Amino acid sequence: MKKLKLIPTPHYVDYKGGETLSISKVYVCKCVGNSVDTALELLAKKTDFIISEKSEADVLITLNPEKHFSKEDLEVFNEKYGETQGYLLKKEKNSPIIIAARSPVGCVYGIMTLIDLLGKDVSEIIIRDRPDFKQRGNKWQVWAESGIWSYDYGDGAEAIKQRFLQKIEMNALRKINVIYADSFGLDADRFPEYADILRTANDRARELGISLYTGCYGMSYGQAAFGNTFHEKNYLNRKSYPDGEVYECIGTYDAYDIDFDTETTDYSHRLDKVYAREHGTCLSNEALTTLKIDEMKDYITKTHCGGLYLHNMDAHEIHPELWKARCNSCRKKWPNDDLFAKDGCAGAFAEYFDTIAKELSQIKDGEYDASKHLKIMVVSPGYLYPVVTNDEDFNTGVDFWKAVSEYLESDIIAIGFREHFFYHDKDVRRAEKIIESKFKHDTIIINFSGGDGFYDDKIFTPTAAVNYIMKGFDGMLCANGNGFQEPLQLFNAEYLWNSESSAYFNIEDKPKNQTEFLKLYRSAIKSHFRPDEIYGDKGFIDVICEKIYGEKIAGNMAQIYKLCGKNGEPPILCASSVDIYTNFSKMIFPMRWDNTDITPEKIDEMTGRFLECSKTSAKAEEIMSQTSKTFNGDKAIKTDLEWLFDCAQMGKKLTSLFYEYMLIYTELDKAFASGEDFRDGIIDDINVLKVKIKDYNNWIDSSPRKPIDKLGGGLVRRKNMGDMLDYWTSLMISSIKTNKRIPDDAKPLPVKRWW
Ligand SMILES: [Zn+2]
C-alpha cells in the first residue's frame, strides 16, 4: 500500500484511497469543551470549516471513544502514554471522521493528524496512535545548551517574536511538546524586549501544549568563567550576604581523566580534586538558597516560563568524594557519608530541589500558575555519559537519582540524564535499569547526538532514527534542531513519537550490544550513514522540506540538507561551528598563528576540512541565491529563505578565507620548522588575502542585520572570525619580517578555563 507520509507516522494506520480528504463542518462534543480551540485554530489555517451541529458534521471530536470504536481500537489507551496522549481517528464510507481520545491532549493530537491528512487520497481510514516518549523536545540554541538564539536573524525584536510564534506552531503540528528555548541564564532584563518575547512565546506555547524551557545553573556556575556569555548571578558560599566570609562546601568532582576526542577514560588513577567548592554549592545555606530562588522567581514571573532546566552541579557522575567535601554545617544537617541515604547526599539534594520547587510553585501572574505550568528538570550531579561512564558508575548514578526521587515531595520535577545505549559489559540496554527502577518522577534524556554545537554543527543528522534504544526513559530533549536545522526538528519529531515503525526509515538489523551500536551511531554522526529512505529521491528529507517550504522549492531546500563533503563536511551557515573549529566555547582557536600547540597532521586535517566546507557552503550559496530570489509565496518562508541565503553567503566567504589562510599557514609553518628561506612574494600573497578579509569584514559591517541577543544570535562570531583572520595574518607578516615564529607583537593567548 502507498504510504501516507504523515509526520510523525502514526503507530497504526489502515486506509483506502479513492477520494481526496476534505472537511467543512466540525462538531466538538460538549465533553471536550474549549480544550481543543487552539488546535482548531491551526486547522482553520489549513482549510475553511464551520463549527456545526452533530448531525451535519463531517468531523466529530469526542472524549468518549467507547461510543464509536471497537474493543481492539480502544486497546491503544492501555498502551504506555495512551491514556494521556493517545487518540483514535477513523472514517468509514459515507460517515464523518471521528477523532476520539481519553484526554484533551489526545484530541489535540488527533486534530494535528487530521491537518496532515487533508488533501490526501483517503476514502476510509483507521488510526490508532500514541507516543513512544511522553516528553518530546527540540533545542533551538546554537552552542550546546549553553547559549545563543538561532532565531535571531538580526531583524529586530518584533520579527523575532513573530518567528518564535511561527516556529512554536510548526513544532506543535508535529506533536513536539518541549522546546529548549533559551540557555543558561535567568536575567529577564538582559535586553529591553527579552521578557516580552519570552512571555508571549511561553503563553502561546502553553496554548499549543508545549513547554518552553530555559536553562540555568542553580549552583557551581561553570559557565560564569566566560564572563559576558552568562546571564545569571554567580553566587558564592558566604557566611552572610552580600559580603560575608567565603567558604568551601561540595563541588564538581570528576573521578577520572577523560579524553572527549577519543571518548576514552583513564582508569589508571583516581583524581582527588573537587572543583568550584565555593561557587554557591552549599545545600544548608538558607540565605544562599533564598537568593537563588528570588532570582528564579523574578525570571519566571516576567517570562511565564514553562520549564527550568536546572543544570545544577555540573558533575557528570556522582561519587563519594563530592559529598565528603561538604562543609561542617551540611555535615551537621546530613551526617551520613552515604550517597543514597536520606540523611546523606540524596536526601540533601532532594530537600534542596523540594525547597526550590515549593517556592516556585507559588508563582502566579495573570493566567500563569506555576504549580500547573512550570516543570523543573534537574540535571546533575550525575547526568552520566553513554561511553565514558562505566557500567558501575552508571548504576550508582541511577541509584542515586532513584533515591532522590523517593525523597522528593514535589511532582513538578523531572530528572535529566545524557543519552544512553547499551551497558558496556552486557548486551542489555541501559534504559532497562530506568524501567526496573520505577522512578516516581519522569526521567528525561538530553540527547547529544550531533548537530548539537557540542560534537558537531551539521545541519542535518539522522541520529534520531536510533531513539528506540532509549525507550523506557519518559522523555527526550534532542540537543539539536535549531533555526539552521528546521528539517531536523521534524525528523526528531518523527522518531520521538514513533521510534520503530516510521513510514520512512527503520533500522532493520538492530545492534545487539554497545560495540555494534556505537559503530552504527558514530557512522550516523559523521554523516557516513545515509540510507536512501532518508537521503534518497522522495526520501524523508524531501518529504520534510515539502512540508516546511511547500512543493515548489522542496527539491532545492532538500539539496541543501543533503550536502556533504568528502568526510561528511556540512555547509556552514553559522560562524560558530564545531565543524570549522569556531564553536563558541573556543577561546583558543586551533588554527591561530600564535598557537603552536598543533601537529602537521592536524594542520593538514584542518586545511582539508576548510576546503570541503568551502565547497559545500559555495553549493549551498548557489542554491539559496536562486531559491530566495525566485520564491514569491508565503512571506515568513521568504524571510527564512533570504536569511539562509545570507548565512550561506557568509559561510562561503568565511570558509574560503580560512582555506586560503591555511595554505599560507602550512607553507610558513614548514619554513619555520625547517629553517629554510621564505618564498619570495609570500608577504604579497598574505596582503592579497588581507584585502579579501577586509572585504569580508566590510560586508559584515554593512549588513543591516543587527542581533538583539547579546551573544550575537544567528549572526554570532561572524565579525569575530574576520577580526581574528586579520590579526593572525598580520602576525604572520611580523613573523616573516622578524624571523620569529611567535612575533613580539603577539598578544598573550586568552586563558582557557571553565571554572
Ligand atoms: Zn555546605
Rounded to the nearest angstrom, the distance between the alpha carbon of 390 and the centre of ligand 1 is 29
Query: Parallel, antiparallel, or unpaired: how do β-strands 25-28 and 59-62 relate?
Result: parallel
Beta strands in 400-524 (DSSP E): 413-418, 442-447, 475-478
Rounded to the nearest angstrom, the distance between the alpha carbon of 327 and the centre of ligand 1 is 4
Rounded to the nearest angstrom, the distance between the alpha carbon of 347 and the centre of ligand 1 is 14
Rounded to the nearest angstrom, the distance between the alpha carbon of 222 and the centre of ligand 1 is 18
Rounded to the nearest angstrom, the distance between the alpha carbon of 147 and the centre of ligand 1 is 29
Rounded to the nearest angstrom, the distance between the alpha carbon of 114 and the centre of ligand 1 is 55
Can you list the residues of the chain whose pLDDT is less than 50?
1
Cα separation, 308 vs 404, whole angstroms: 18
Query: Parallel, antiparallel, or unpaired: how do β-strands 364-365 and 368-369 relate?
Result: antiparallel
CB atoms within 10 A of CB 295: 18
Q: What's the 3-state SS for 86-103?
A: CEEEEECCCCCEEEECCC
- The answer to whether 252 and 279 are in contact (CB under 8 A) is no
Rounded to the nearest angstrom, the distance between the alpha carbon of 332 and the centre of ligand 1 is 9
Cα separation, 226 vs 587, whole angstroms: 9
Of all helices (H) and strands (E), which one includes residue 258? strand 257-259
Cα separation, 208 vs 90, whole angstroms: 23
Rounded to the nearest angstrom, the distance between the alpha carbon of 227 and the centre of ligand 1 is 25
Rounded to the nearest angstrom, the distance between the alpha carbon of 275 and the centre of ligand 1 is 14
Classify the phi-psi angles of 712: left when phi > 0, otherwise alpha if psi is within -120 to 50, otherwise beta. Answer: left
Q: What is the pLDDT of residue 314?
A: 85
Q: What is the pLDDT of residue 260?
A: 86
Q: Which amino acid is at 351?
A: E
Distances (CA, A) of 734 to 595, 599, 689, 747: 15, 22, 15, 13
Q: What is the pLDDT of residue 153?
A: 98
Rounded to the nearest angstrom, the distance between the alpha carbon of 238 and the centre of ligand 1 is 10
Helix 718-738 and helix 682-701: axis angle, to 10°?
160
Of all helices (H) and strands (E), which one includes residue 27? strand 25-28
Q: What is the pLDDT of residue 755?
A: 63
Q: What is the pLDDT of residue 492?
A: 98
Rounded to the nearest angstrom, the distance between the alpha carbon of 247 and the centre of ligand 1 is 9
Beta strands in 392-507 (DSSP E): 413-418, 442-447, 475-478
Distances (CA, A) of 271 to 87, 110, 265: 52, 53, 12
Degrees, nearest 5: CA angle 373-375-377: 165
- Domains, the chain, ordered by start: 12-129 (3.30.379.10), 135-543 (3.20.20.80), 569-738 (no CATH)
Mind giving me the DSSP string for 662-723?
Answer: HHHHHHHHHHHHHTPPPPTTHHHHHHHHHHHHHHHHHHHHT-S-B--STT-GGGTTHHHHHH
Q: Which amino acid is at 577?
A: S
Cα separation, 86 vs 105, whole angstroms: 8
Rounded to the nearest angstrom, the distance between the alpha carbon of 25 and the centre of ligand 1 is 63
Q: Give 345's strand partners.
A: none
- The answer to whether 485 and 451 are in contact (CB under 8 A) is yes
* Helix-then-strand count for the chain, H and E: 22, 23
Rounded to the nearest angstrom, the distance between the alpha carbon of 560 and the centre of ligand 1 is 52
**Distance of alpha carbon 275 from its chain centroid, rounded?**
27
The residue count of the chain comes to 755
Query: Parallel, antiparallel, or unpaired: how do β-strands 50-51 and 25-28 relate?
Result: parallel
Cell triple for residue 549? 517550504
Distances (CA, A) of 670 to 103, 296, 549, 609, 677: 69, 54, 49, 19, 10
Degrees, nearest 5: CA angle 338-444-169: 155
Q: What is the pLDDT of residue 274?
A: 95
Rounded to the nearest angstrom, the distance between the alpha carbon of 619 and the centre of ligand 1 is 56
Q: Give 89's strand partners.
A: 99, 127
Cα separation, 285 vs 42, whole angstroms: 49
Cα separation, 95 vs 593, whole angstroms: 73
Mind giving me the DSSP string for 352-390?
Answer: HHHHHHHHHHT-EETTEEHHHH-EEEE--S----SSSS-
Rounded to the nearest angstrom, the distance between the alpha carbon of 285 and the centre of ligand 1 is 6
Rounded to the nearest angstrom, the distance between the alpha carbon of 218 and the centre of ligand 1 is 15
Q: Which amino acid is at 297?
A: K
DSSP 176: -
Rounded to the nearest angstrom, the distance between the alpha carbon of 315 and the centre of ligand 1 is 17
Rounded to the nearest angstrom, the distance between the alpha carbon of 237 and the centre of ligand 1 is 8
Cα separation, 244 vs 241, whole angstroms: 6
Q: Give 375's strand partners.
A: 307
Cα separation, 563 vs 577, whole angstroms: 16
Q: What is the pLDDT of residue 647?
A: 98
Rounded to the nearest angstrom, the distance between the alpha carbon of 182 and the centre of ligand 1 is 30
DSSP 746: P
Cα separation, 250 vs 244, whole angstroms: 19
DSSP 750: P
Query: Parallel, antiparallel, or unpaired: how do β-strands 148-149 and 141-142 relate?
Result: antiparallel
3-state SS, residue 121: strand
Rounded to the nearest angstrom, the distance between the alpha carbon of 344 and the centre of ligand 1 is 12
Rounded to the nearest angstrom, the distance between the alpha carbon of 377 and the centre of ligand 1 is 23
Rounded to the nearest angstrom, the distance between the alpha carbon of 233 and the centre of ligand 1 is 19
Residue written as cell 536553562?
A: 215
Rounded to the nearest angstrom, the distance between the alpha carbon of 283 and the centre of ligand 1 is 5
Rounded to the nearest angstrom, the distance between the alpha carbon of 249 and the centre of ligand 1 is 5
